[in-house]
Amino acid sequence: MQHHIAIAGASGRMGHMLIEAIQAADDCTLSGALDIPAAPALGSDAAAFTGQPAGVAITADLAQGLQGAHTLIDFTRPEGTMAYLAACRAAGVNLVIGTTGFSEEQKAQIAEAAQDMAIVMAPNMSVGVNVTLKLLQMAARALSTGYDIEIIEAHHRHKVDAPSGTALRMGEVIADAIGRDLKECAVYERYGHTGERDPSTIGFSTIRGGDIVGDHTVLFAGIGERIEITHKSSSRATYAQGSLRAVRFLAGKRSGLYDMFDVLGLPRD
């Protein structure tokens, strides 16, 4: 089956990586390229940067960009994603969401839309990260008492949300595994006289700098030992390849909200 894919944020860093991945995949075709009205690249060929034009112009017109697409891949920002969500729902186009930073209300709107369309939503499309989430689930269950849990993440200077969606997902997976609610036990800031660490909490630390693609470490610190589970991304290519796996997974599906565990066939328990 040939998968016809539109890309949101087509002139951005992740947009370029996705377009390169589509161009290299025998079963994928770039059918549309979307960007914001102020994008300087509007009207230009979306794949011109590769030296192999695709014959697809970047547009801010949602109907034009989605025409002929089976699936839209979106790694933009929450406000943009919500507009793309409504357009895809109206056009009968499936959606792969890699955007992070959604509010609870926006997440609820996405879940509601999934009654009429098929969506894969994951804060990180990397296959390795999702295997790491599975390892964290196992580790958390075994280390639920006597170990302090800290999540440290580092990203490039341009990232606008913190902690990263991946770090938050790690926290959710760990909290669920040990019977806690992340909303109740997460600690995102420490400053001044904080007192002793509450053993029931999950701490987050955020680093922003340079061109770091994405590093995540979960530290289980006990007495006399500590365990660190780390994933480091050196290229956005891994997110692009995971996104194409999500596109293939959605083929033929009419509705439902899925994540990368579903795409990769990873068990939830």
Helix (H, G, I), strand (E, B) or coil at 103: coil
Active-site residue, 159 included: yes
Q: What gap in Å lies between CA 262 and CA 194, rounded to an integer? A: 40
Phi first, then psi: give them for residue 95, nearest 5 degrees: -140, 130
DSSP string, 56-80: -BEES-HHHHHTT-SEEEE-S-HHH
Residue 7 has which token pair?
């890309």
Distance CA 121, CA 143 (A): 29
Asked if residues 186 and 204 have their Cβ atoms less than 8 Å apart, the reply is yes
User: Phi/psi at 149 (nearest 5 deg)?
Assistant: -110, 120
- Classify residue 56 as exposed, middle or buried by CB count within 10 Å of its CB (0-12, 13-18, 19+): buried
Residue 193 appears among annotated catalytic residues = no
* Three-class DSSP category at 37: coil
User: Using alpha carbons only, how large is the chain's radius of gyration in Å?
Assistant: 19
Q: Residue 151 — φ and ψ, nearest 5°?
A: -120, 120
Q: Say which residues have a Cβ less than 8 Å from residue 153's Cβ, sequence separation at least 6.
A: 163, 164, 166, 167, 204, 205, 206, 207, 214, 215, 216, 217
Catalytic residue among 70, 155, 216, 231: 155
SS3 238: helix
- The catalytic residues are 155, 159
